[in-house]
Chains A and B, each alone.
Chain A
Amino acid sequence: MIARLFNFHGGIKPDSHKNESSSLPIAAAPLPPRLTIPLRQSVRSAAHCLVAPGQRVQKGERIGAGEGPLGTDVHASTSGTVVGLAPCAMAHASGLDTLAVVIEPDGKDEWIERRAFDHRAVPRETALRYLSTCGIVGMGGAGFPTHIKLGNGHGIETLVINGAECEPWITCDDRLMRERAVEILSGAAILHELIGARRTLVGIEDNKCEAIAAMREAATRLTAPIEIVAIPARYPAGGEKQLIRVLTGIEIAHGKLGTEFGVQCFNVGTAHAVHRAVHHGEPLVSRIVTLTGNVSHPGNYEVALGTPVETLLALAAPKPDTDRYLMGGPMMGITIADLSVPIGKTSNCIIAASPALFPPPPPELPCIRCGACARACPADLQPFELYWFSRAKNVGKAQEYHLFDCIECGSCAFVCPSHIPLVDYFRFSKSEIWARERELKASDQARERFEFRNYRQEREKEEKAAKLAAKAAETRAKLSGSAAPNEAAAAAADDPKKALIAAALARAKQQAATAESGHMAESNAGSPAAAVPGANPDIGSRRERPHLHDSDATS
């Protein structure tokens, strides 16, 4: 039993708007006519395709194999036929396309053969690899691969299960905890064993009374040391560092991670997915999505991954004055430009926005340096300083002021009396810094390659010169071997190049001489050697002979 709760700095209390969608139980969303399953699940990880168009796939069949250490596998979320590979818009602020497998469901929803996995019977690495092949990633928002977060199996004292769900409007974790508390805790117990923690704390905001009751009830049936803790509802209590602070009192320093302080955090949805994977042999193929906002029938649905947002929205019946749709919460979510975007592993909520519910922000006014943002910042930053530096594009300075500790929660922009879109400035600065780092890396590589090329050219030149010198030395050796060293040989010893030229010249003369002596031979029947005055009988090679002839002629 933990003795007391702690407090994190800042935070805000926006209207929660949870009741709209939290009253109805989770319903299964019907399968769309076509599923679009992106091979790239997040910006940092990609997968390569394992299926071909026309191929029949079953529910849970692997259709993509994760690439790189951060890659996780991708699975078909229902049975059907692969229609093809096509680019589809990604649930990302850029709205850029990514390659996706398009599946036409056959309506049978047939599973592959499912077999429970005994994580206790195998080495830890095998269990982690199993989670990666089941495509388990963090379902709270970042989508970070769970097998990486489980680390090396030691150094983690406390496992935190995040059921805070602090953002307004979203209720998918709330419903999940109310209805599937046993499964979540069973998944939490598996994570607990795999990470080697001593205790597990489940943090739930105190505005979710039913969820807390259901989870506590489920926890009594468990032997694992799992504790359900109700925490005060304040945005962003569900932020990793903030939740760790509230539950354990550990303040994580700037630029550090929870693991360095012996704490690791997983979302309740992730714990549920781990339970399905381990005890039922089911890879991650569906998730709970909240449909809310300006709609007639808000609620939570269990959605097959790859379902386009537009077909899903039909279930909730958006009202006619809806002007845009948000994916994620109103604080941290993104506006989706293209409604064909498929539901991914981290798409927790779709909000229909109308001018009445989400009035357009008033125009940005100058910063009056009131400091309200600094009082609201849960990451202990000074957003006004970051804003000035970002606005001036002085991103290096922003980085010095711990820009990368900003969790983009939007609390600062929420309280700003000048309506400055602070988070937009911070996002701009962050991506600018990443771009510069990429450029720097590329230019360092180019410099290295350029220098190596210069070195290689220099080396080749030297090798050529050395080869020539060796050849010249050979010539010289042959010359000095001759019985009558003469001026040419002496010259050759001084300058191998000159000697070579002389040799070539002499060869030409020799040829001319042979031609001449050939003529003479017709009359004299003398040998070419005899025709050469001062010819030495010791001369072995035809090549050297003209030399002597040449030097004799010149002397």
Chain B
Amino acid sequence: MLTALLVMTGIAIVLGAALGYASIRFKVEGNPLVEKIDAILPQTQCGQCGYPGCKPYAEAISNGEADINQCPPGGEEGIRKLADLLGREFKPLSEEHGEEKPKSVARIDEQLCIGCTLCIQACPVDAIVGAAKHMHTVVPALCTGCELCVAPCPVDCIAMTPLPETLETWKWKYPVFDLRSAA
């Protein structure tokens, strides 16, 4: 009886120590779920979800504060991926947060730009170059299409232009089954 008790206690102590050690040794910094959610989000940093950037939105989702359907640039596919990751039901994009649009980039009308630097300050990814009282321009390869620079411009010289299809970005279309020829 006593031996059994001692053995069980011994096992409990050893296992407890092992678990305690493991929890210190393999401690994960930060919430790994946030990283996973953040990896799915499109990183436009547009704030349409109501949070200042993709990472804060990812944190809000993992805390259960925000829903998964608040990201218009991520679109339906993004919501599907989030639903898969979090084991939730898919739901359509929330209308109050905006609608899914084709990817576009900001373009500054250089004739109108007065060099106020307001757009430079608004750009979340530093994709606009220029200096005070000098013309500004958007680096298209870096622009995420967040539209945050459009509103601050005092002379309305920034327009969002959809990206044209190039040989590098052209995609084969999904094969369509022509019903009429089949009939």
Tell yes or no: A149 within 8 A of B by CB.
no
Q: Which residues of B contact A40 (CB under 8 A)?
A: 167
- From residue 119 to 153 of chain A, which have CB atoms closer than 8 A to chain B? none
Tell yes or no: A443 within 8 A of B by CB.
yes
A442 to B143, CA, bound (A): 9
Tell yes or no: B32 within 8 A of A by CB.
no
A364 to B174, CA, bound (A): 14
Minimal Cβ-Cβ distance residue in A for B178:
A363
Interface 1/0 per residue, B147-162 and A, CB below 8 Å: 0000000000000000
Is A450's CB under 8 angstroms from B53's CB? Answer: yes
Q: Which residues of B contact A34 (CB under 8 A)?
A: none
Stretch at the interface among A100-108, A267-275, A288-296, A427-435: A427-435
Minimal Cβ-Cβ distance residue in B for A42:
B167
Is B172's CB under 8 angstroms from A90's CB? Answer: no
Q: Which residues of B contact A498 (CB under 8 A)?
A: none
Minimal Cβ-Cβ distance residue in A for B74:
A443
A421 to chain B, nearest CB (A): 5
A366 to chain B, nearest CB (A): 11
Tell yes or no: B142 within 8 A of A by CB.
yes
Stretch at the interface among B2-10, B41-49, B111-119: B41-49
Q: Which residues of B contact A360 (CB under 8 A)?
A: 181
Contact of A424 among B166, B170, B175, B181 (CB under 8 A): B175
Q: Which residues of B contact A363 (CB under 8 A)?
A: 177-178, 181-182
Tell yes or no: A96 within 8 A of B by CB.
yes
A11 to B165, CA, bound (A): 36
Interface 1/0 per residue, B16-57 and A, CB below 8 Å: 000000000000000000000010011111000000011100
Q: Tally of A-B residue pairs with Cβ under 8 A?
A: 77
Contact of B167 among A96, A425, A443 (CB under 8 A): A96
Interface 1/0 per residue, A159-200 and B, CB below 8 Å: 000000000000000000000000000000000000000000
* Size class of the B contact interface (CB-based, 8 Å): 20 to 34
A431 to B170, CA, bound (A): 8
Tell yes or no: A154 within 8 A of B by CB.
no
B149 to chain A, nearest CB (A): 13
Is A43's CB under 8 angstroms from B175's CB? Answer: no
Q: Which residues of A contact B168 (CB under 8 A)?
A: 43
Tell yes or no: A467 within 8 A of B by CB.
no
Contact of A94 among B42, B126, B170 (CB under 8 A): B170
Is A428's CB under 8 angstroms from B167's CB? Answer: no
Q: Which residues of B contact A94 (CB under 8 A)?
A: 165, 167, 170
B77 to chain A, nearest CB (A): 9
Tell yes or no: A93 within 8 A of B by CB.
yes
Minimal Cβ-Cβ distance residue in B for A94:
B170
B118 to chain A, nearest CB (A): 16
Q: Which residues of A contact B55 (CB under 8 A)?
A: 447, 451
Is A446's CB under 8 angstroms from B169's CB? Answer: no
Best-buried of B53, B165, B167, B168 by chain A (most CB within 10 Å)? B167
Tell yes or no: A445 within 8 A of B by CB.
yes
Tell yes or no: B72 within 8 A of A by CB.
no
Q: Which residues of B contact A439 (CB under 8 A)?
A: 42
Q: Which residues of B contact A428 (CB under 8 A)?
A: 171-175
Minimal Cβ-Cβ distance residue in A for B174:
A428
Tell yes or no: A449 within 8 A of B by CB.
yes
Is A446's CB under 8 angstroms from B144's CB? Answer: yes
Is B165's CB under 8 angstroms from A443's CB? Answer: no
A154 to chain B, nearest CB (A): 33
Given A364-B177, A444-B43, also A449-B126 (CB < 8 A): yes
Best-buried of B41, B54, B174 by chain A (most CB within 10 Å)? B174
Is A446's CB under 8 angstroms from B166's CB? Answer: no
Tell yes or no: A453 within 8 A of B by CB.
yes
A301 to B175, CA, bound (A): 35
Minimal Cβ-Cβ distance residue in B for A436:
B77
- From residue 428 to 478 of chain A, which have CB atoms closer than 8 A to chain B? 428, 430-432, 434-435, 438-439, 442-447, 449-454
Tell yes or no: A98 within 8 A of B by CB.
yes
B20 to chain A, nearest CB (A): 34
Q: Which residues of A contact B172 (CB under 8 A)?
A: 93, 424, 427-428, 430-431
Contact of B45 among A43, A431, A446 (CB under 8 A): A446
Q: Which residues of A contact B175 (CB under 8 A)?
A: 364, 421, 424-425, 428
- From residue 51 to 96 of chain A, which have CB atoms closer than 8 A to chain B? 90, 92-94, 96
Tell yes or no: B86 within 8 A of A by CB.
no
B150 to chain A, nearest CB (A): 18
A98 to B165, CA, bound (A): 12
Tell yes or no: B15 within 8 A of A by CB.
no
A435 to B174, CA, bound (A): 14
Contact of B125 among A364, A393, A427, A449 (CB under 8 A): A449
Is B169's CB under 8 angstroms from A438's CB? Answer: yes
Is A96's CB under 8 angstroms from B170's CB? Answer: yes
A430 to B174, CA, bound (A): 11
Is A450's CB under 8 angstroms from B125's CB? Answer: yes
Given A449-B142, A450-B125, also A435-B171 (CB < 8 A): yes
> Which residues of chain A have a CB within 8 Å of any CB of chain B?
40, 43, 90, 92-94, 96, 98, 360, 363-364, 393, 421, 424-425, 427-428, 430-432, 434-435, 438-439, 442-447, 449-454
4 nearest A-B residue pairs (beta carbon): A363-B182, A443-B43, A446-B43, A449-B125
Given A428-B173, A446-B43, A454-B53, 10 additional A-B pairs, CB 8 A: A92-B170, A96-B167, A98-B167, A393-B174, A425-B175, A428-B171, A434-B171, A446-B144, A449-B127, A452-B126
A-B contact pairs, 12 of them (CB 8 A): A93-B172, A98-B167, A363-B181, A431-B170, A439-B42, A442-B144, A446-B125, A446-B142, A447-B38, A447-B54, A450-B125, A451-B55
